A and B are shown apart, each in its own frame.
Chain A
Amino acid sequence: MVTLTLVLVGLLLLLPLLLVFITALRSGLGPYLQALQLPDTQAAVRLSLLTVLIAVPLNTVFGVSAAWATAKFDFPGRSLLLTLIDLPLAISPVISGLVYVLLFGRQGWLGPWLEANDLKIIFAPAGIILATTFVTFAYVARELIPVMQAQGRDDEEAALTLGASGWQTFMRVTLPNIRWALLYGVIMCNARALGEFGAVSVVSGKIRGLTNTLPLHVEILYNEYQTVAAFAVASLLALFALLTLALKALIEARTGRAHT
């Protein structure tokens, strides 16, 4: 049983991970660093960072709001809202991009109006940010809702009775209570946002240096048979994935929480 597990984990998980780094460094450190310093790579890094820096905070604010409303209160339509929050998780990434093309694309519902006002969303960074936001929509909310529900509202009510304002109660009572779950959600949201491919690929148009995120840049390099460069950029993303796993394990150890 143990041997079988080690073989499975080795073949399915460890071997692919090793392949990324070995292929990236196949021609030595020089070409590896060179690939990372290409202007197109640098532009992809910048666009990916911009996307993450907008999409993750947006979904974090939403996640906290949605969790406050659904975990601390009961109201008609609550379970419908919970189902709708999960909806983006059940939708193919490609469809998550497609919906924005149909809305903002040249033939889309708002396309003519956007064009008349010289605004560009599809084949521009705005579309990439929107599609990424859609895909990672539920990540923070889903972590927070069960935790906040389990904590109930006693702590908050005590703080309010003692004279704290609503905002003080949130900052000094709720936020410390949910900080690990919040961090966990943000980390997972961040990992998915940085790595999203399908949704972004539909709305990006893949204009080099302008609308290429890191995963799209990997695809282009790979399709151009620039294998070392493709895996060099991929290794950046893999390193980030390893960092995500380490942080995740750290939070799990810290809080003694079960796996999700």
Chain B
Amino acid sequence: MTTLPSRRQARRHVLPGLPLTLGYATLYLSLIVLIPLAALILKAATLGADGFLDAVTSPRVLAALRVSFFTALAASLINVPIGLTIAWTLTRYRVPGRRLIDALIDLPFALPTAVAGITLTTLLAPNGWLGAPLAEAGIRVAYTPLGIIVALTFIGLPFVVRSLQPVLEDLGPEPEEAARSLGATPTQTFWRVTLPALYPALLSGFTLALARTVGEYGSVVFISGNLPFKTEIAPLLIVGKLEQYDYAGAAAVAVAMLVISVALLLAANTAQARLSRRGER
């Protein structure tokens, strides 16, 4: 009788290492991430509620937050059709060099952002390979909000393609063939059959791209021109405040950005849950 509980206990603990690994993971997480983040929030809190609100609602801060948010939003929206086109081609067509293109998709992820920044700037500057013909057509890209959007499109692209690819691979041509045999046109089939099946993946790709690009710095600072109220992004404003030793002000802007990022992720998770529930029904 007395052996029973101890045997059950032994069974429960047969795999060792939980205290050690959990303890270490928690300690390391606290040291590297949680304590520094607490320092940030405490620093912002030294301003008091009024001081904090003043700091984050100053016209220049609001303008920078707007630039960061709307350029990231625009770039992520642009990446939806671009990513869909590329993912579609890679999964549905036999393209020459398919594996090479597939590997290249992750370039924005592997290439340091500063390298992407100077490269896109050189490419799109008024005397650049693409910038010169565009300038002749009257379109200025570098040193305008459009330049920021191009840089963020580059950065966000792999997130959309990589979210779509596995879903497109699993989807298979059967539902589309069924729709076609029932008399739907290719356009109807795409809009009513294929696209709805891709909504969750599109949304998650869009969100990942948005989350990554809203705080992006390295690829943007070179191409944006950094004009206050026009092309100054929020991370750059933080750097500027740090250089003027306005630590509390920098912390306040950072906290505002964190709130925006967390709100975005929560909204996306909710939408994602709702979409996949609808998909099950």
Chain B residues whose CB sits within 8 angstroms of the CB of A259 once the complex forms: 162, 165-166
Chain B residues whose CB sits within 8 angstroms of the CB of A73 once the complex forms: 15, 18, 22
Given A1-B85, A20-B119, CB of A134 within 8 Å of CB of B110: no
Q: Assess whether A33 is interfacial by the CB under 8 Å rule.
A: no
CB–CB A16/B116 < 8 A: yes
Q: Assess whether B235 is interfacial by the CB under 8 Å rule.
A: yes
B103 → chain A closest CB, angstroms: 4
CB–CB B235/A237 < 8 A: no
Given A94-B238, A95-B40, CB of A23 within 8 Å of CB of B93: no
27 A-B residue pairings within 8 Å (CB atoms): A1-B89, A13-B108, A20-B119, A64-B21, A65-B21, A68-B21, A92-B217, A92-B254, A95-B258, A102-B43, A102-B247, A108-B39, A109-B39, A133-B32, A166-B16, A170-B17, A195-B111, A201-B218, A201-B239, A215-B115, A216-B114, A219-B114, A219-B118, A241-B110, A241-B112, A245-B110, A248-B103
CB–CB A62/B112 < 8 A: no
CB–CB B102/A103 < 8 A: no
Give how many A residues have a beta carbon under 8 Å from the other chain's beta carbons: 93
Interface digits, A173-201 against B, CB 8 Å rule (1 contact, 0 not)? Answer: 00000000000000010010011111001
Chain A residue nearest in CB terms to B89 = A5
Chain B residues whose CB sits within 8 angstroms of the CB of A12 once the complex forms: 82, 153-154, 157
Chain B residues whose CB sits within 8 angstroms of the CB of A248 once the complex forms: 103, 106, 110
CB–CB A66/B25 < 8 A: yes
A41 → chain B closest CB, angstroms: 14
Interface digits, A27-63 against B, CB 8 Å rule (1 contact, 0 not)? Answer: 0000000000000000000000000000000100110
5 A-B pairs closest in CB distance: A92-B215, A195-B112, A197-B218, A198-B217, A99-B36
Given A15-B123, A62-B24, A153-B15, CB of A195 within 8 Å of CB of B114: yes
B100 → chain A closest CB, angstroms: 9
Interface digits, B75-113 against A, CB 8 Å rule (1 contact, 0 not)? Answer: 000000010011011100101000101111111111111
CB–CB B114/A218 < 8 A: yes
Complex CA gap A43/B218 in Å reads 21
A248 → chain B closest CB, angstroms: 7
Q: Assess whether A234 is interfacial by the CB under 8 Å rule.
A: yes
Per DSSP, are chain A's interface residues mostly helix, strand or loop, or mixed?
helix
Complex CA gap A197/B236 in Å reads 13
Residues in chain A within 8 A of chain B (CB atoms): 1-2, 4-6, 8-9, 11-17, 19-20, 23, 58, 61-62, 64-66, 68-70, 72-73, 75, 81, 84-85, 87-95, 98-103, 105, 107-109, 130, 133-134, 137, 153, 156-157, 160-161, 166, 170, 188, 191, 194-198, 201-202, 214-216, 218-219, 222, 227, 230-231, 234, 237-238, 241-242, 244-246, 248-249, 258-260
Q: Which of B100-152 contact A (CB under 8 A)?
A: 101-116, 118-120, 122-123, 129-130
Given A8-B82, A237-B111, A245-B110, CB of A95 within 8 Å of CB of B165: no
Chain B residues whose CB sits within 8 angstroms of the CB of A94 once the complex forms: 215, 217, 235-236, 238-239, 254
Complex CA gap A259/B154 in Å reads 18
Complex CA gap A7/B95 in Å reads 13
Chain B residue nearest in CB terms to A197 = B218
Q: Assess whether B14 is interfacial by the CB under 8 Å rule.
A: yes
Q: Assess whether B273 is interfacial by the CB under 8 Å rule.
A: no
Chain B residues whose CB sits within 8 angstroms of the CB of A70 once the complex forms: 25
CB–CB B111/A98 < 8 A: no
B37 → chain A closest CB, angstroms: 6
CB–CB A237/B115 < 8 A: yes
Complex CA gap A196/B217 in Å reads 10
Complex CA gap A198/B238 in Å reads 11
Chain A residues whose CB sits within 8 angstroms of the CB of B195 once the complex forms: none
CB–CB B123/A16 < 8 A: yes
CB–CB B37/A99 < 8 A: yes
Contact among B17, B215, B245, B262 for A93, CB-based, below 8 A:
B215
Chain B residues whose CB sits within 8 angstroms of the CB of A201 once the complex forms: 217-218, 239
* 11 more CB-based (< 8 A) A-B contacts, given A195-B110, A260-B162: A12-B82, A13-B157, A65-B22, A66-B21, A91-B258, A94-B238, A197-B218, A215-B113, A222-B222, A258-B165, A259-B166
Given A19-B123, A68-B21, A92-B215, CB of A198 within 8 Å of CB of B113: yes
Chain A residue nearest in CB terms to B238 = A94
Chain B residue nearest in CB terms to A250 = B103
Chain A residue nearest in CB terms to B18 = A73
Chain B residues whose CB sits within 8 angstroms of the CB of A197 once the complex forms: 112-114, 217-218
